[in-house]
Chain A
Amino acid sequence: NAGVTQTPKFQVLKTGQSMTLQCAQDMNHEYMSWYRQDPGMGLRLIHYSVGAGITDQGEVPNGYNVSRSTTEDFPLRLLSAAPSQTSVYFCASRLTGTGLYEQYFGPGTRLTVT
């Protein structure tokens, strides 16, 4: 198993540009989520999905869109990049069900918006 994979590892965008951060997992996990990590802020939940076709907002959803057309993939779209979106982005997945909370994280995407 590759686990959770993310592409790209690094990205630089200009303000106003759009892009999609890719996330895929091969563990057949129902639950997938996106976090951003900023210095001194820990990880904050952006969006999450409990299965194909189902998504919901986390703590900081503004400026981001997600979709879940398959169990494996959960892309995160930045519609119009802003410097405030400079961060490290982590995708995570886990099984759903009572007591199944262990999340597996991808290696992260470091995004810089100039």
Chain B
Amino acid sequence: GESVGLHLPTLSVQEGDNSIINCAYSNSASDYFIWYKQESGKGPQFIIDIRSNMDKRQGQRVTVLLNKTVKHLSLQIAATQPGDSAVYFCAEIRARLGGYNKLIFGAGTRLAVHP
């Protein structure tokens, strides 16, 4: 069935390097995507979002890129810090005919930042 998933389950980076977390989605009708960060023992926290009519959106140290041609989403974190260590989820909004939009999450990828 249709799903949102991630290429890499674990990503290890050195402190100060840039991180890139990837996500593939299969529903070409999805028009909104979100990245969440989840630290151990906590609920997911919103990082950044992007609409399907955009290719790129930047936040503070984070950039989300959307490639609709290949249905690929990525989260770039600049100058990765130990506090960035967490599990990152991409999620898509799937519009439901006659109903409300639902947020569907991918499986998640763990980012480990090493000093």
Chain A: residues with CB nearer than 8 A to chain B? Answer: 4, 31, 33, 35, 40-45, 48, 50, 56, 58-59, 90, 92, 96, 101-108
19 further A-B pairs in the complex, CB-CB below 8 A; given A90-B44, A108-B41: A4-B43, A31-B100, A42-B89, A42-B105, A42-B107, A42-B108, A44-B105, A45-B102, A45-B103, A56-B99, A90-B43, A101-B32, A101-B103, A103-B44, A105-B43, A105-B45, A106-B43, A107-B42, A108-B43
Chain B: residues with CB nearer than 8 A to chain A? Answer: 4, 32, 34, 41-46, 49, 89, 91, 93, 99-108
DSSP class of B's interface residues: helix, strand, loop or mixed?
A: strand
DSSP class of A's interface residues: helix, strand, loop or mixed?
A: strand
Q: How many A-B residue pairs have CB under 8 A?
A: 54
For residue B24, give the distance in angstroms from its CB to the closest CB of chain A. Answer: 13
Chain B residue with the shortest CB-CB distance to A6? B43
CA of A59 to CA of B102, assembled, Å: 10
